[in-house]
Structure formats: structure tokens, C-alpha cells
Chain A
Amino acid sequence: MDRKKLYKGWEEQASKELRDKNLEDHLWETPEGIKVKPLYTEDDLQKISHEIGLPGLPPYTRGPRATMYTNRPWTIRQYAGFSTAEESNKFYKEGLKNGVMGLSVAFDLATHRGYDSDHPRVVADVGNAGVAIDSIEDMNLLFDGIPLDQMSVSMTMNGAVIPVLASFIASGEEQGCPREKLTGTIQNDILKEFMVRNTFIFPPKPSMRIVADIIEYTSKKMPKFNSISISGYHMQEAGANQVQELAYTLADGKEYIKSALERGLNIDEFAPRLSFFWSIGMNFFMEIAKMRAARYMWSQIVKEFKPKNDRSLALRTHCQTSGVSLMEQDAYNNIVRTTIEAMAAVMGGTQSLHTNSFDEALALPTKFSARIARNTQLIISEETGICNVIDPMAGSYYVESLTSSIVEESKKLISEIDEVGGMVKAIEMGIPKMRIEESSAKRQARVDSNEETIVGVNKYKPTEKQEINILSIDNEEVRKRQVSRLQKLKNSRDNKIVESFIEKIKNAASSNENLLEICIEASKNRCTVGEMTSAMESVFGRHNLSTKTISGVYKNTVKNDGKIDIIDNELSKFVNKKGRRPRMLVVKMGQDGHDRGAKLIATAFSDLGFDVDIGPLFQTPEEAAKQAIENDAHVIGVSTLAAGHKTLVPLLMESLKNNEASYIKVICGGVIPPDDYPFLYDLGVSKVFGPGTNIQEAAIEIINLL
């Protein structure tokens, strides 16, 4: 029988099963705008536009290596770091004993932003969301007993990339490992910092120069080190859909290639050392297709730069399961989610993988939760037999079709970026950030109106509270320790030499000498991360991000199930009583750059009819109080995710009190462990809204509060 006839037969049968419903109604439009059919057939395989090929060969759609996991499974690489170097060192060693194969260092936000632990702006940040590294001394402790010539180390560092990478290289040499033997990856992807991750320090131009300095230096002196990890991960976590994640990341990659070429490097000198980083969320097939589309598209993009070495065309990637898909409510569900996501990453052919812990939405992982996360990978790798076949999804009617659709959709976005003159320009204009925030607002609107299900949050809610032990860090204690170690360092080193290096760094910054090279020597001579950064800062300046906001997206997406009417009604009552709309100042204090929630709250609340002031990132509590007073806000909405709340909120309350402005109410939202709620309420905080908050319900509560 011919295929057409066969398909007709299926349609008839399906229509019968659907009874009064239409087959066309069963098209699923994904958040990326891709229309997915209920059935894919051989015919669809004829229509694909990408080339499938074979693993290890261009265009590498099926994977960068010929043998993939059949020879060696992916690297289990768990991202971790907290409080002090000693603590983190212990944690790494424990992991290495239990199946972890590569280290991945998470730094605290003070280090990310180039401040030493004794800087007044970082009282709430030291040691909280990662490990505090002030100098080579801390690096030495961090890798104590871990031979760097044998262990590959990945470091998530972007803003303070020069001093931190320099201290790492210097520390390696003090340990006896020459720089050419170092293996691992430095994230060094500054473009996405301006877009979504927010740990930039310098303005875009000098920042791009630093990226090129590093690519240049590593390509010449550290042949086994990946000079950059071009990251889509943070975009998806900030709200991007998969097509946006892919397109903007590849566009970033293009930009980095261009700037390295401008340095006079040859494409084959550095392209094989570029690596990528994806987020893997719950849309299982979409994620697999995304990874395959990425490899295909990258090979096409690099081809335009005429490499001679095929390895330049191969996209290698790290993946992390999506943190934002994990919920505070019914937290054990997260183990299941992470498993599904890890499966997608593996089916998509990742080179290394981090799996999140189930307490992701509560705090940094405990020993217990970290162990389960690790085991998730070990189970997939060693109990399922999945590793025995390369790229098992290839040829799937659906996956290949989806891969093609993603390629098409991504191309559209990339050409939008090309049209304005590349990613640097587009970022300056705020285009990608705006698109990502739109996706984020849409997603929240769908969840708030129950159009997207999150088990345990907006459906099948648990009836009993679960007790979960979480990790709590005494940030004050860590800070004291770091500060005294800094003091000791400053007393024992030769400060004259330090000063001469500071001058050298300034000179290098204002000329075109390689900054990394000089900072390696500076680190050896005990210059601190903060000192090296401020030397560069004196030349480059510190970048301020101007916050742009979108409006209307939330309201246009959300379905009115009556709550909107209640809000309208409450609001007009409020205006009649108070003479103006409720005015809320949304603030981000400290170095916490998680602004997805704050932006979302700002745009959604204004859509719902509030007057919303939005503060800049990195405010101090005093600054936030001043702004709230001047604007005569009814309420300050603190959004806090990086564990600074126990330090920052008391300071904010005090600052309000000192200005006789305690009439301004304070509410908090974000990642706040339930155990800390009483502490905040005792301070006078009126209400705490945790992850998974339904924004409309929150709005009603807040109006009533005022």
C-alpha cells in the first residue's frame, strides 16, 4: 500500500477515536512558537533541512566524538562551592571519592564582582552563594591535595576572570603543575553576563578585550585549557525559551570568534578550544533536538571563517539540568524532574553534566541532596545500558523534524541580531534581554493561570508539610575568617612589590599588553583579586546596567479566572481611600544578580495596576531606603535569592527606622528557607513570598496588607 493511503487510514482511525474533536486541534504550539503535530512519519524525514551525518565527523550533528559514550561516558561534573576554600576543598574530595570526575568551582558573589571580602559593599555576600577567593592563598587551600595536572577544573568566572584565572594558574605552579599542563574550562563568557547573569564588572568594550586577552593567552600557553564556555544555560534559567537560548548563544559565539580573529589569531588556533554550556529543562524532546541543532548550526557558522582543521567545527558542550524547573513545594518531585532532564542531556550527547539537587529552590545542597544528584547520573550511566549506543535518537521522525524546526527558528533570531550589527550592539540596545523577559513573563502568566502544570505547585498540591534539612551558612563567621586571612596576607607580603604590580596592571589596561600574563605574576606576589580588579577599574570604570522593563506581556497572556476582577475592585477601593495607586519599590540589594523574579514582579504588578518603582541592581540597604522614602512608596518588595536576606533585611529595617520611615511596609520574596521566615517576621517584615508564588494572589494579599 502506498504511504499516502496508509496515512489517510490513520487519519480516519484517529478521527474516530477523537469523536467530536478535531485532529487539527491537536497541534501543540510550544513556547518557541513551533507547531508540533501529534504524529510524525517517514514523510517528515524527507523534509528536514539539516544534515544528520555520522558522529565524530562534520557537521557533527550526531556528536563531536566518533565513539561518544561507548568508549567513555560523559564527565560527571558537579558545580559546587561554598563558604571557605577549606570547606569547599573537603566537599570536592568527598565528591571525587564518590564518582565525580571533574571539579567545577562556584565562587561567591563578592569574588564574582571583584571585591575582596573586606569590602563594605559585600557584607552580605561573602561565602554565601559560593566560595570566597581573595588571593592565591585561598586558591592554594581550595586545591590542596588535588593534583591539578591530573584533575580538570572548570571555573564559572566571568567578571573577575583575569585575577581569578591568574590566581588559579599561579596556584597551579606553586603546586608544581606548569601552566601548559592545566586542563579544564574557564567560563569567560561576558556577553551573557550583560544579558542575564549580571556579574559583569567593566563596561562591554574593555570586557570584550579581556575575553580576547584570555583566548589569546590560553591558545598560546595552555593548549589543554578551554578558553571560554559560551553559555546558553543562564539564558534559559532567566526565562529564555530553547530557540532563544540556542540562537543568542551561537550569536555570542560568533562575536567571540570575531574578536579573537581581530587579535590576529588563526581560527584553528582557538576554535577547537571553545566550548558550550546548555540548560536542560523539562521539554524532553525539544532539549535533545536543541543540542543536535546546536552542533549542526555551529559547524555551519564556523565554516564561514574557513578553518582548515575539522575539529574547529565540532561543538563540545557541558550541560546542567534546569534549576528553575525545580520547586520549593513538594521538593522531592525535583529528583524525578532532574532525572528526566539528565536523560535528555545524555540523549542529546553532552560531554559533561551537572545534575541539580532536590533542595535547589531552598539553598545550596547538603551532603545528602548532593549525593542523590550525583547518583542520578551514575544510575543512568551504569544501570541502564544507554551508553552502549551512540546517538540513539538519530533518525527519529519527530526528533529530526524538531531539530530542523529549531534550526529554522534560530536562524531567524540570529539574523535579527546580525541586522543590528551583532551581539554587542544588540545587547547595548537591550534586544535579547527584552525578548527573554517577555518569555519569562509569558511563562509565569501561564503557570499563574494553570495553563501549564507544575505538579505540587499549581496542581496536586501536597496536603502535608515535608521537613527538609537544608544547608545554612554562617556568613558573618566566614567573612570574619576571610577578613583576618586578608589582614595576615597584607601584613606578610612585600607591599612595595604589590604596588608596583598595581601600576603595571594599570599600564597594561591602558595599553594593549595582555592582562592575564601580568596578573599571573601579580598573584604570585600576593596581589588580591580585589586589588587587581580595582587597578583595572581605575582605567575601565565600573559598568552600571540601566534597567529596562517590559509591560503588557503578563496581562496579555494571563487568563482572567476572576482574580483580575478582584484585583481591579480592590485597587479602586484602595485609590478611593488613599488617593493614589499602591506604590511598590522592588529592590535588589547586595551583589545578588538574580533579577528574573524582581523583573517579573515589577512588570506583572504594574500590569495589574500597581505603580512600581524598580531599583537598580546591587543597591545597599541605605540606598534602597532613600529611594523608597523619596518616592513615598507604600511598600518595599525585597527580592532576595542569594542568601543575603539575614544580613540585608535587618539593615534595611534599621535604615528606615533611622529616617523615621517605618511607616513604609517591607515584604520579601525569593529563595528564603522557611526556617528564616520567623526571623524576618520578628524584624517587622509583613509578608514573605517564596518560590512558586502566584502573582495575582500575592497582589491581592499586598493590597489588603496596605
Chain B
Amino acid sequence: MWALRGLRDGVLTTRWPVRPDEYASATRGPATVLAPTARGASEADVAGLCPTSALTVTPSGEVRVDQGRCILCGRCVAARPDLFGWSAGAHQAALSRAGLVVPGEETPDTLAAVTAGLRARTRALRRSVHLRHVDTGSDGSEEWEILALLNPVYDIHRLGMFLTASPRHADVLLVTGPGALGMAEPLRQTYEAMPHPKVAIAVGTDAVSGGTVGPSRAAAATATGGVGDIVPIDVWLPGSPPSPFAILSALLLALNRLPTGSVAAARTGGGR
């Protein structure tokens, strides 16, 4: 009976990234800056909009969003639609923490260096890639979005990606949560147990910057700078939580398997 039912609705699986996918293009990402040098934007009235201190104004008056701190609350977009908008599309990850600050300060040279380093490592990975996940204090939603990659719509098996229970068979580590102190050692051990070459991805704003809301960060029971304080992170993916397409894009970025052009397009900042 179930075998027949499985055929009922035809092919549900996306062909992304080979073919465009409407839902992937429409995926809402962190806030971005529409007009970096808008007049009348002082540090005081812009920075105060954001509950997670993601917004800054440089001395020369340029507005910046640190997407690695953005929890997509939408306040900046609602209050100053002239300055801020949503980024859209699946490509929301960066290869460095600094790369999440838009408009970017990263020069093509530094980006090229990071990219080359990662590529040298991932080139050696088999075409079939095994993923291991560790939760370091997530709110539980990131796990849902990672698991969604197994549903028939995303079906990462088609891309040769598989979840594995054993760190010894894992090529890629997906880390969620802000780095709760109790998970620091288990995370370190998991990372150490993975064979070389290995890649670690910080999945979600919690993992990227170590917690979300709240002024008492010093008193927090989490690593203050996110999971990057605990293990070396190669790919940084914000989101609260990041959507399955964004996670998939981060995986492909890590493996250097994104179609050419899409990374550059994704991370040059500005309005999209």
C-alpha cells in the first residue's frame, strides 16, 4: 500500500542548484543594507533598532549589518525601509566570520586565500560526503531544518550527501547552538575524532555569534563568540534558524560545489 502511495504525487524533489527553484530564490535571509551611505543615519538611531547589536555606523557614516548577529526580527526593515531590506535566496553563508558583515570589508585577496585553503582540503573528499551534527544548545529549530534535507523535497542523497552517526566516518560537521559550556568538550571530542580532511559549518546565528537576545552575555552559560571559540569553523551560516535551502547552499559552498558565480553574487552584499 505504502509503495503505491509513494508514487502518488509524482516527483517532488527540487533540482536545485542545477535548476533554479522558486522557493530557494524567495528564501528570506538576514537583513541587509540597501543604502550604505544614507544621510541622516546616526549611530544612535540605527544601532538602537537592533536587539542583538547587529547594526553599526562607521565614523564615515556608513551603515553596516553584521548578519552573523541577525536573528531576522525585522525591526530594522520595518523602521527604516530606506536603509534596510531582507536578503533573499539560498546563498547566505560565508567562508569567514568577517564575510558576514555587509557591505563587506573583505578584499578579493583575503577571500581568495580562505577559499583556496578550503578547496585544497575539500578536493580530497570523496564524491559521497558524510555529515555529522552536534547540538551545542540550539533552540531545537535548527535540527528540524537540517533533518528537512532528508525529506523528498530536498533529498540530499541525490547530491551524494549522507548523515552518519559516527564522527569517524564524517567529513562535514554541522554545529548548531551557541556553544553551551557543557557541550564544549563533547564538541571538541567529536571534531577531533573526525578524519582529515574535515570541514565544520556553524549553522544558525546562535552558532555563528554565540547567543541571541539578552544584554547579560557575560553571565551567559555559552561561549561568548559562538562555536568558533571551541572548534575551527570553515563556513558561517546565519539564520534563526537558517532554512533548508540555506543549509544546503552552505554545504555546497563548503565542498566547492556551488555553480560558478553564485557565491560571489551572494556575498557581495547590497540590495537583492
Q: Do A and B come from one complex?
A: no
